[in-house]
Amino acid sequence: MSFETIHEGNIRAYLMTVPGLFPANARLQVTEIGDGNINFVYKVWDDKSGQSVIVKQAKPYLRSSGKDRSLTTDRIRIESEVMAIEGSFCPDLVPKIYHQDMGQSLFVMEDLSDHEIMRKGLIKRKRYPLFPEHIGTFMAHTLYKTSDFTLEAKAKKAMQARFINPEMCEITEKLVFTVPYYDDQTTRYMPGSAQAGAALRSNEPLKKEVAKLKEAFLTSAQALIHGDLHTGSLFVTENSTKAIDQEFAYYGPMGFDVGAVIGNLVLNYAAHEYHSPDPAQREDFRTYLLETIEAVWQVFEREFTRLWKEHNQEVTAQAEGYREDYLARLFADSMGFGGCKVIRRIGRAPVEDFTSIADPKIRAKAERLALKLGEAMVRERHDFGTIEAVTHRIREIQAEAE
Amino acid sequence: MSFETIHEGNIRAYLMTVPGLFPANARLQVTEIGDGNINFVYKVWDDKSGQSVIVKQAKPYLRSSGKDRSLTTDRIRIESEVMAIEGSFCPDLVPKIYHQDMGQSLFVMEDLSDHEIMRKGLIKRKRYPLFPEHIGTFMAHTLYKTSDFTLEAKAKKAMQARFINPEMCEITEKLVFTVPYYDDQTTRYMPGSAQAGAALRSNEPLKKEVAKLKEAFLTSAQALIHGDLHTGSLFVTENSTKAIDQEFAYYGPMGFDVGAVIGNLVLNYAAHEYHSPDPAQREDFRTYLLETIEAVWQVFEREFTRLWKEHNQEVTAQAEGYREDYLARLFADSMGFGGCKVIRRIGRAPVEDFTSIADPKIRAKAERLALKLGEAMVRERHDFGTIEAVTHRIREIQAEAE
C-alpha cells in the first residue's frame, strides 16, 4: 500500500503498514491535537488494545501562517534525530521514538497523555519536586556529550554540519533578539505595560548586551542545543519530565537552553501576581519557583562537573582553573539568554502565564515586573556569580516593584 | 583526450585541453616547485609566448608523510573556492584563478614568480611599505564580508556548512593549541631553549588561557577565515601582496587571521637577534617591524569600522557601543591567537626565521625571547587595550631579555 501524502483521513491505514506498531486486528481512532503554530500532531489509539501513539508531521509551511509562509520540512528530520540522540543519553527524559518516515515528513512517538505541559501546571501552582534533578541532568548530558569535551573534533564538526538549521534559527534570531528592541510593538502591549515595553527600543545599554548575546547565538557552536527549552516544551508529571519539540535544535551556545528553563520559571514568577491572588499563597509559590531555579542550576552544574571529571577527551581542558572559568562564563550566558527569553514574551508572542491573566491591570503589573527581571538578568549577568545572587536580586526587584 | 590522473608527466597535455589557457601552438615546460608538506605545485610555462601558470594539486594523503597519512582532497576544493571568494572582495590581493578541476583535485592560477614569500624577504631585512595597507584591507574585507554583519543568517549558515573543514582544522588544533603544552618535545628544542620550552607544560596560567583560545577556535564561527595567514602564506613584492594557501579556511574566529599576521611579525622580530647582527641595524629593522605591526592593526580596524558603518545588515549591531566592544574583543582575540602562533613555532615545526640561524646559542636566545613574547601576548591580551601598548610591551620584554 502506498501513500501520496499522509493526512488525518489516511493516517490510520498508514500506521497499520508500520511493522510492530499496532496489532493486526487493531481498531484505530485518530484525533488532531496540535496546538502549536508549526506542525500537525495526531493522537492515534487502538480501541481494542488501548495502545496509543503520537504522530508529528511537518508541512512545507508555517501552520499558523498558512501556505504563504514556507518552511522547510527538514525541521522534522532534525527534531526526530535530535530526540533520538537525546534519548540515547537520557532515555527517560524524552519520548520514545517508534518510527521515522522522512518521505512523509513525520515520525511516530510515545503517547504521553498522562503528562501535562509544564507551563499549564505551573499556572495552576502545581509543584514538580523532581524537575530540577531531571532537567539539570538532561541539560548536562545532552550539552556536555555533544560538545568538544566529549566528541573528537571531526565527529563534532560532522554533527554540526548535520544540524545546521537556518530557518528555525532565523525565527529565534528575530523573535528573541531583534523584535523587542527594534520593532514598533505598541499595539501588542497591554496599555499598562506599553510604556515599559516601548522603552526597550531606546535602552541602549540593554541593547548592547542583547547584541552580544545574539552574536553568541549566531556564532557559538558549543553543543547540540535543544534550542526552545521553555516550559511549553516540557511534558511533566510529579515524577516524570520529558523534553519535546526539538525542531529548533542546532549547534549553539549551551547557555541558551539553561537560560530558557530559568527564564520561563522567572516568567511564571512574575505572572503569579495574578495566579496566586492571596499574598501568602503567592509568596509561598514564588519561594518554590526561586528554589526550583536555584536547584536547576545546582543540579546542572553538579552533573556537568561530574561528566567533565569522568570523561574529557579535550586534553587542553585539564588546565588548572579552566573548568571553573568555563562554568562561570556558561552561568553568565545562561542568565543573559534567560533574560532575553523573559523580555521577548512581553508584547509579541506572550505566553499563557500572562494571556490567562483576566485583569488587564494585574497583567500589566506582572509584565512590567517581568521586563525589569529580564533586563537585570541580561545586564547584570557577569556580576551575579552565584545562582543565589540571582534569586536574591529577583526578590529585590519584585519588592521594589510593589 | 581523457586523463586517469594528472602528474608531472602528462600535465602539459592536460593543460592544452583547457580552453583559453595557452595558445594552440604553445611549447610547454613544467617543473615541480612545491616546497610545502601537503600538496604538489607545478609551474608550467610556454617557451614561445612566455605565458605561465601555477597548478596546485592535492593527493589523498599528506605529502610529507607519504601514503601512510591520508588526508581528504576536499582541501583543494576549499582552497580554490575560498581563494575565489576572497578574490571577489579583493581582486588584487589573491592570485587569479584560471581553471578548477575537482575531479583531478587541482586548480590552475596566476603565476606570481616575480613575488617572494614574505618570510624569506623579512629574513633578508626587506621592507614592504604597502603591506599593512594591503593585509589590513584584505582581512577587513574577507572577514567582515563573510560574517553575520554582511550576510543574512541563512546565507551565512550555508557558507558555514560548505566550509566545514575538519581535517585541516584538526592539524591546527593539535599543533597550535595542544602539542606545545602537553607533548614532550624535549628532543625538538635547541639545548639553550629546551628548558623554557619544557616549562610551557607546567605553566598553568598560560595553559588556561590557551584552553580558552582553543575553545574559540573550535566553537566561534564568526567569519570565513583564511586559517593559516602566516608570512609563509603571503607572496609579496614592494608594491604587491597576495594571500595564498587557503586550504585551512573554515568558519572560525576572526582574530585567528589577524593574530597569524601579527604573531609572525613578532617571530621575525625575535629572530633578528641573528639576522641583524649589527645592533644599530637590528634596532632599525625591529623598529620597522613594530611599526608594521601597529599599522596592520590600525588599517584593519579602520577598514573594518568603515565597512561596518557603510553596510551592516545585522540590525542589533546598531546598539550604542557595540561596535567598539566587538573590536575590543577582536583585538584581544588577535593578540591571544598571535601569541599561540608564536609559541607553537618554537620546538616542533619551527619556521625559517629560526632554522636559518646558524649559531645555536643565538638561535636559543631568539627562541627564548619568542616564548616570552608569545606568553605575554596570550596572558596580557585583555590588558593591552591598544596596539601601541603591545609594541611597547614587546620592547620592554626584549630589553629585559638582554
Q: What is the mean pLDDT of chain A?
A: 94
Q: Residues B93, B127: one domain?
A: no
Q: Which residues pair with A61 in a beta bridge?
A: A70
The pLDDT assigned to A65 comes to 60
Q: Which residues of chain B are within 8 Å of residue A340 when distances are taken between CB atoms?
A: none
The pLDDT assigned to B277 comes to 87
The pLDDT assigned to B66 comes to 60
| Overall average pLDDT of the A295-322 stretch | 97
Instruction: Kindly report the nearest CA distance between residue A211 and chain B, in angstroms.
Output: 5
The pLDDT assigned to B185 comes to 78
The pLDDT assigned to B319 comes to 96
- Does B148 reach chain A within 8 Å, measured CB to CB? yes
Instruction: Kindly report the nearest CA distance between residue B279 and chain A, in angstroms.
Output: 40
The pLDDT assigned to B39 comes to 85
- Does A117 reach chain B within 8 Å, measured CB to CB? no
pLDDT tops 70 at residue A70: no
For the record, the C-alpha cell of A189 comes out as 502591549
C-beta of residue B379 within 8 angstroms of C-beta of residue B209: yes
From B209, which residue of chain A is nearest by alpha-carbon distance? A322
Instruction: Kindly report the nearest CA distance between residue B221 and chain A, in angstroms.
Output: 5
Q: Which residues of chain B are within 8 Å of residue A200 when distances are taken between CB atoms?
A: none
Higher pLDDT, B124 or B184: B124
Of B61, B82, B110, the position where a domain reaches its end is B110
The pLDDT assigned to B71 comes to 72
| Overall average pLDDT of the B23-52 stretch | 91
Q: Which sign does the torsion angle of CA B280, B286, B287, B288 carry?
A: positive
| Overall average pLDDT of the B58-76 stretch | 72
Q: Residues B106, B172: one domain?
A: no
Q: Which residues of chain B are within 8 Å of residue A208 when distances are taken between CB atoms?
A: 319-322, 325
C-beta of residue A142 within 8 angstroms of C-beta of residue A91: no
| Overall average pLDDT of the B309-335 stretch | 97
Largest CA distance in chain B: 66
Residue B171 and residue B248: Cα distance in Å, rounded? Answer: 9
Q: In chain A, how many domains are there? A: 2
Question: A211–B322: do the CB atoms touch at under 8 Å?
Answer: yes
Q: Residues A309, A333: one domain?
A: yes
How confident is the model over B225-236, as pLDDT tens digits? 999 999 999 999
How confident is the model over B7-33, as pLDDT tens digits? 889 999 999 999 999 999 999 999 999
Residue B278 and residue B267: Cα distance in Å, rounded? Answer: 19
The pLDDT assigned to B5 comes to 84
Percent of chain B at pLDDT > 70 equals 97
The pLDDT assigned to A72 comes to 76
Candidate from A148, A182, A325 with C-beta closest to B208? A325
C-beta of residue A254 within 8 angstroms of C-beta of residue A329: no
Q: Which residues of chain A are within 8 Å of residue B170 when distances are taken between CB atoms?
A: 153-154
The region of weakest confidence among A190-194, B14-18, B137-141 is A190-194
Residue A46 phi/psi, 5° resolution? -100, 115
Residue B132 phi/psi, 5° resolution? -60, -40
- Does A308 reach chain B within 8 Å, measured CB to CB? no
Residue A114 and residue A119: Cα distance in Å, rounded? Answer: 15
Q: Which residues pair with B40 in a beta bridge?
A: B57
Domain coverage including residue B24? 11-110
pLDDT tops 90 at residue B395: yes
The pLDDT assigned to A312 comes to 96
Q: Residues B104, B121: one domain?
A: no
Of B66, B88, B110, the position where a domain reaches its end is B110
Of A82, A110, A138, the position where a domain reaches its end is A110
The region of weakest confidence among A31-35, A68-72, A173-177, B221-225 is A68-72
* CATH number, domain containing residue B248: 3.90.1200.10
Q: Residues A334, A365: one domain?
A: yes
Query: B17 lies in a domain?
Result: yes
- Does B164 reach chain A within 8 Å, measured CB to CB? yes
The region of weakest confidence among A33-37, A147-151, A177-181 is A33-37
| Overall average pLDDT of the B59-74 stretch | 68
Instruction: Kindly report the nearest CA distance between residue A353 and chain B, in angstroms.
Output: 28
pLDDT tops 80 at residue A38: no
The pLDDT assigned to A113 comes to 92
pLDDT tops 70 at residue A67: no
Query: B327 lies in a domain?
Result: yes
ipTM of the complex: 0.94
Q: How many CB pairs under 8 A join A and B?
A: 119
Query: A5 lies in a domain?
Result: no
Higher pLDDT, A7 or A61: A7
Query: A395 lies in a domain?
Result: yes
Residue A268 and residue A228: Cα distance in Å, rounded? Answer: 17
Strand order in the sheet with B234-236: B116-117, B234-236, B241-243
Q: Which residues contact A54 (CB under 8 A, 6 or more apart)?
A: A33, A41, A42, A43, A44, A95, A108, A109, A110, A111, A112
Query: A6 lies in a domain?
Result: no
DSSP assignment of A288-330 equals: HHHHHHHHHHHHHHHHHHHHHHH----GGGGSTTHHHHHHHHH
Residue A177 and residue A318: Cα distance in Å, rounded? Answer: 35
Task: Return the H-helix or E-strand segment holding B41.
Answer: strand B40-46
The pLDDT assigned to B73 comes to 82
DSSP assignment of A142-195 equals: HHHTTSTTTS-HHHHHHHHHHT--HHHHHHHIIIIIIHHHHS--GGGS-GGGHH
- Does A301 reach chain B within 8 Å, measured CB to CB? no
Q: What is the mean pLDDT of chain B?
A: 94
| Overall average pLDDT of the B238-257 stretch | 97
Q: Residues A151, A251: one domain?
A: yes
Task: Kindly list the distances between the CA atom of residue A64 and the CA atoms of A69, A120, A226, in Å, as whole numbers in the listed order.
Answer: 9, 21, 22
Q: Which residues pair with B117 in a beta bridge?
A: B235
Q: Residues B275, B304: one domain?
A: yes
Tell me whether residue A157 is exposed, middle or buried, using C-beta atoms within 10 angstroms of its C-beta: 0 to 12, 13 to 18, 19 or more.
buried
Candidate from A153, A219, A321 with C-beta closest to B220? A219
Q: How confident is residue B303, by pLDDT bands cut at 50, 70 and 90?
A: very high
Binding-face residues of B in 189-208 toward A, CB within 8 A: 204-205, 207-208
* CATH number, domain containing residue B52: 3.30.200.20
Q: Residues A123, A73: one domain?
A: no
Q: How confident is residue B63, by pLDDT bands cut at 50, 70 and 90?
A: low
For the record, the C-alpha cell of A247 comes out as 525542531
- Does A177 reach chain B within 8 Å, measured CB to CB? yes
Query: A127 lies in a domain?
Result: yes
Q: Residues A223, A81: one domain?
A: no
Q: Which residues pair with B252 in a beta bridge?
A: B223
Residue B224 and residue B81: Cα distance in Å, rounded? Answer: 11
How big is chain B, counted in residues? 402
The pLDDT assigned to B275 comes to 83
Q: Residues A95, A198: one domain?
A: no
Query: B4 lies in a domain?
Result: no
Q: Which residues of chain B are within 8 Å of residue A256 when distances are taken between CB atoms?
A: none
Instruction: Kindly report the nearest CA distance between residue A350 and chain B, in angstroms.
Output: 22
Query: A3 lies in a domain?
Result: no
C-beta of residue B303 within 8 angstroms of C-beta of residue B311: no
Q: Residues A237, A331: one domain?
A: yes
Residue A110 and residue A101: Cα distance in Å, rounded? Answer: 15
**Comparing C-alpha atoms, which of A269, A282, A301, A267 is closest to residue A387?**
A301
Q: Residues A234, A370: one domain?
A: yes
For the record, the C-alpha cell of B150 comes out as 554582511
Question: Helix (H, G, I), strand (E, B), or coil: what is residue B395?
Answer: helix
Task: Kindly list the distances between the CA atom of residue B187 and the CA atoms of A219, A321, B346, B347, in Å, as whole numbers in the listed order.
Answer: 40, 30, 12, 8
**Comparing C-alpha atoms, which of B380, B374, B287, B376 is closest to residue B339?**
B374
C-beta of residue B125 within 8 angstroms of C-beta of residue B276: yes
How confident is the model over A225-234, as pLDDT tens digits? 999 999 999 9
| Overall average pLDDT of the B174-203 stretch | 91
- Does B177 reach chain A within 8 Å, measured CB to CB? yes
pLDDT tops 90 at residue B209: yes
Rg (CA), chain B: 21
From A149, which residue of chain B is nearest by alpha-carbon distance? B215
pLDDT tops 60 at residue A68: no
